[in-house]
Chains A and B, each alone.
Chain A
Amino acid sequence: MGYIEKIQSMLQNGEISCVELTEKYLKAIEEANGELNAYVTVTPEVALEQAKQVDEKIKRGEKLLPLEGVPMTLKDNISTNGIETTCCSKILKGYKPIYDAKVWAILKKNNAILLGKTNMDEFAMGSSCETSCFGGATNPFNTDHVAGGSSGGVASAVGGDIAVFGLGSDTGGSIRQPASFCGIVGLKPTYGAVSRYGLVAYASSLDQIGPITKTVEDASLVYDVISEYDENDSTCEGRQGEPTYDTLNNDIKGMKIGIAREYLEGVREDVKEAVLEAARKYEEMGAEIVYFDLPALKFALPVYYILACAEASSNLGRYDGIRYGYKTEHYEGIHDMICKTRSEGFGEEVKRRILLGTYVLSAGYYDAYYKKAQNLRGTIIKAFDDAFKNVDVILAPTVPMTAFKSGEATSDPVETYLTDICTVPINIAGLPSVSVPCGFNKNGMPIGMQIIGDKFKEGKILNVAYKYEQACPENFKDTKWGVKL
């Protein structure tokens, strides 16, 4: 049983009231957050008010809605009406949206309990959470290590049991990579399955909101709720087909699980071994492992960094100090004001990507970079399309390594970009992928693998992930932190 079901049955059976439960989590946050630095804003008033409503509902004998009464968190780039939404950037400090993101509107309607907003790399640009203007979140397995990024705060909170689940966003791996680093589950849905309305844009054609949870069931439950069609997001189609929860336990006998050889290149030995061990487990369950080549993968990283930066340079143009957020103090004229505001308000990594993106879109370079990258994006999409003609899902490492120590990531940006090599192809192709813990290295740091599916096949990848979770529960470990139910 997942944590969500367990909590809901405790609430429904009167073992604990929702207010008591919420207070437990708030207290745990107080105790752990100093070290984990997962939360950047805690919202006890909001949480307790919601909890009260849930308790009244239970008292009236009403049945709980999905996710109702479950304490959770949102990444700080998801707009919450009246609650600071900073993207962990100095430029948005103090900014309180006047509207709710679609996903938060759904969760609010279902009375999920918002404990607070969680840490992230500034504007979701980073792989360690360390570009946050609040400092990075740390890894609950070992706080000398990073939680990963960009949704490091959500992963740290969920891994450290100071939230039952959280929503992150994944543009190039930002859900899966920190989930992998923190030994938990992270689902990046198909592009268009979950509304982006209210998600502060980093790279609009790649961004996707998804759940970070401790178990596959929880990911499935959350995904089924948030994957609602939204007319306000033209690119959103919503979940296709039946709820993923219904097919979690389907038999996977005879299923073809593909492994692309390129996905194992340059991956650390311990990671590779853990993934191959998982493949053996699947064989034991009756699945067939199919090795194949995916040469287009080698384009993925440059394509990603060109497209993502190009879109980011446009998306981040609006932070000019005029309407909201940070504004420089001393300036002469509008031009000077905008320049100084942006120079002072953005961090180094964000500025680097804005510059890169501006460059690849500028006259004279557009064809050589942006246009070429768009064409190669087509090539990568086609390569995956072809692959799914022969296999049901693809198994791959989530990250070529385990969580590195704090401070180790930021020295060489290009080296850091390489950690995204396994995750970015999925965003480029718009596919769903779930990262699942598949072991630990010799230092006890978690290793993650991802199960990649064809478009809108969330049900299938979660089914495959769930089977593994059932077979290898030892890879899903608690840490010393947080609430123990």
Chain B
Amino acid sequence: MKYELVAGFETHIELATDTKIFCSCSTAFGGAPNSHCCPVCIGLPGTLPKLNKKVVEYGIKAGLATHGKIANISKMDRKNYCYPDLSKAYQISQLYAPLTIGGYVELSSGKKIRLHHIHIEEDAGKLIHSHGDTYVDYNRGGVPLIEIVSEPDIRYIDEAREYVEKLQQVMRYIGISDCRMQEGSMRCDVNISVRPEGSEKLGTRTEIKNMNSISNIMKAMEYEYERQVDLIENGGKVVQETLRYDDATNTTSSMRSKEDAHDYRYFRDPDLVTICVTDEEVEEIKSTLPELPTEKYKRYVSEYGVPEKDAQLLTKYRNISEYFDKAITDLKKPKTASNFIIGQMFRILQTEEDKEAFDVKTTPEQLNELCKLIEGGKVQNNLAKSTLDKMLESGKPCTEYISEEDMAGLDDSFVDDLCRQAIEANPKAVEQYKQGKEKAIMACMGYVMKNSKGKANAQDVLEKIKSMIS
């Protein structure tokens, strides 16, 4: 029997606010243990939380970017559990009335992974085990998080990868998080179950925690899918439990079963007032959002005729697409600019971090200027390419490298003459071309290009020669 995978994600994303969610301590990553702490975030008796407005704003941005509905009224709740990294023995979170409801993430196939909701909450501190003792560092305690809870809409491991990548991409676009899984600023828990293909009923699910990269998520899901299928095929039953993924052995192991699941005793936090957001405020935040990658991608492909693969590369990071958008101002063929970016610029921006930063010396205006020379027929591709390499190195405009003379257009009759000469000089090639060997004509082309010092427009030349021969 074939089994279908059913998976949903709970994704925690640390928000890139300067200060913590309930106090004014720094959220900077690292720092000496307990150096970013105050009476509030270490939960001293009598202290009270004060909600950081930026956190609400960022949460709303996340909701809008995933097509969710922003709740006009939302509330903070206490999630009670006792663990040393949690200084108050409760986490301030949202259960009964989260900040945003619904929404979806659209995959490249057009399939929508629905979201249940997004809520805001505080992070816990960290335990550090050393020399047989355990120490607590509360620097991370109170760092703001959003939790994005999806519906169980994922059916393939590839969809899971794309879902996480899309979330990462969108959240980075709107500037609310750097979403670095290795640093823990993005963390995923996966709920996973299997069912016989065609069945509508959901199987018993397990929850996998503790995965710090997309490849680990995929490996863990694969392992867990196989484990559950094996179990069922051998007459066993999946037990609802929380699993820990072990990177080294590529296996999952049980953290706790349903029986000893926590009873979090959620209730409204009486220390915080209701969060009220008006439609006007939502509209205002919406107006600050950049165009999102999916929309950009669609625009590039349908309006600019950029190939899909290139459009994906251009929209992967906000900086690239913004650069591209500026570089194509008033261009007839935006593809010229995209070729330069993906061809030559990506060559010098090798790592993903470099691409994300997209820190190149040539300004989009300068690239635009170069592209316009090509469109005006004043500069040919080869010359433009070598010019761009120099520009990228120096940061100077193209006019530094291309002279007036270079740019002076060729007289049409002069090109005609050259074409005629080329045909005369290559009788063999002309003959072959007439017999149907298309490529043979390149010999004539070469002659013209060489004698025009590369300034003739290749496309024009080709057409001229063809018409002369026939």
Contacts and interface: CB of A to CB of B under 8 A. Distances in A.
Q: Does B associate with A?
A: yes
B9 to A, nearest CB: 24
A98 B265 contact: no
Contacts of B84: 320, 322, 334
Interface of B: 39, 42-51, 78, 80, 82, 84, 87-90, 134, 136, 263, 265-267, 270-273
B50 A199 contact: no
A60 interface: no
Nearest to A233: B48
Contact of B90 (A317, A334, A358): A317
A101 to B, nearest CB: 6
A198 B40 CA distance: 10
A10 interface: no
Interface of A: 77-79, 85, 87, 92, 95, 97-99, 101, 196-201, 203-205, 231-235, 310-311, 313-314, 317-318, 320, 322-324, 334, 338, 358, 361-363, 366, 370
A368 B385 CA distance: 75
B88 A318 contact: yes
6 A-B pairs closest in CB distance? A317-B89, A205-B270, A361-B265, A204-B270, A200-B45, A198-B46
B144 to A, nearest CB: 16
Contacts of A317: 80, 82, 88-90
B45 A318 contact: yes
Contacts of B50: 231-232, 234
B142 to A, nearest CB: 14
Contacts of A370: 267
B118 to A, nearest CB: 22
Contacts of B48: 196-197, 232-234
Given A234-B271, A314-B265, A361-B80, A99 B90 contact: no
Contacts of B49: 234
Given A201-B45, A234-B49, A235-B270, 16 more contacts: A87-B45, A98-B44, A101-B46, A197-B48, A200-B46, A201-B46, A310-B267, A311-B267, A314-B89, A317-B90, A318-B43, A318-B87, A318-B88, A322-B136, A363-B263, A370-B267
- In this complex, the member of B48, B134, B263 whose beta carbon has the largest number of chain A beta carbons within 10 angstroms is B48
A233 to B, nearest CB: 5
A97 to B, nearest CB: 6
B267 A197 contact: no
B261 to A, nearest CB: 10
Contacts of A201: 45-46, 271
A323 B87 contact: yes
A363 B134 CA distance: 32
16 contacts: A79-B44, A79-B45, A87-B45, A97-B45, A197-B47, A204-B270, A204-B271, A234-B49, A234-B51, A235-B270, A310-B267, A318-B88, A324-B44, A361-B267, A363-B263, A370-B267
Nearest to A231: B50
A266 to B, nearest CB: 30
A78 B90 CA distance: 22
Contacts of B47: 99, 197-198
A405 to B, nearest CB: 32
Contacts of B265: 313-314, 358, 361-363, 366
Contact of A314 (B44, B51, B136, B267): B267
B121 to A, nearest CB: 16
Nearest to B88: A318
A234 B44 contact: no
Given A314-B90, A318-B43, A338 B82 contact: yes
B203 to A, nearest CB: 24
A314 B93 CA distance: 14
Contacts of A338: 82
Main secondary structure on B side of the interface with A: loop
Nearest to B90: A314
B45 A314 contact: no
A182 B273 CA distance: 36
B103 to A, nearest CB: 28
Contacts of A95: 45
Contact of A92 (B45, B136, B266): B45
A235 B273 CA distance: 6
Nearest to B127: A334
B46 A314 contact: no
B429 to A, nearest CB: 84
A228 to B, nearest CB: 15
A196 B266 CA distance: 23
A83 to B, nearest CB: 13
A313 B263 CA distance: 13
- In this complex, the member of A98, A198, A317, A358 whose beta carbon has the largest number of chain B beta carbons within 10 angstroms is A317
Nearest to A204: B270
A211 B48 CA distance: 21
Contact of B82 (A233, A320, A361, A362): A320
Contacts of A314: 78, 80, 89-90, 265, 267
Contacts of B82: 317, 320, 338
A475 to B, nearest CB: 35
B41 to A, nearest CB: 12
Given A235-B273, A317-B82, A320-B84, A199 B267 contact: no
A381 B181 CA distance: 48
Nearest to A230: B48
A130 to B, nearest CB: 22
A320 B86 CA distance: 11
A85 B87 contact: no
A378 B414 CA distance: 93
A85 B39 contact: no
B39 A99 contact: yes
A334 B134 contact: yes
Contacts of A99: 39, 44, 47
Contacts of A235: 270-271, 273
Nearest to B76: A234
Contacts of A203: 270
Nearest to A78: B46
Contacts of B39: 97-99
A92 B84 CA distance: 18
A334 B85 CA distance: 12
B88 to A, nearest CB: 5
B216 to A, nearest CB: 28
B101 to A, nearest CB: 21
Contacts of A92: 45
A322 B135 CA distance: 10
A79 B46 contact: yes
Contacts of B263: 362-363
A441 B144 CA distance: 58
Contacts of A311: 267, 270
Nearest to A198: B46
A323 B42 contact: yes
- In this complex, the member of A85, A87, A203, A361 whose beta carbon has the largest number of chain B beta carbons within 10 angstroms is A361
A400 B45 CA distance: 33
- In this complex, the member of A97, A201, A203, A234 whose beta carbon has the largest number of chain B beta carbons within 10 angstroms is A234
A465 B467 CA distance: 110
A118 B46 CA distance: 17
A116 to B, nearest CB: 18
Contact of A197 (B46, B134, B272): B46
- In this complex, the member of A85, A87, A99 whose beta carbon has the largest number of chain B beta carbons within 10 angstroms is A99
Nearest to B262: A363
A452 to B, nearest CB: 22
A57 B90 CA distance: 47
A362 B88 CA distance: 18
A97 B271 contact: no
A397 B47 CA distance: 34
Contacts of B271: 201, 204, 234-235
Nearest to A205: B270
A85 B134 contact: no
A204 B47 CA distance: 11
A85 B44 CA distance: 12
A116 B221 CA distance: 62
A185 B230 CA distance: 75
B23 to A, nearest CB: 9
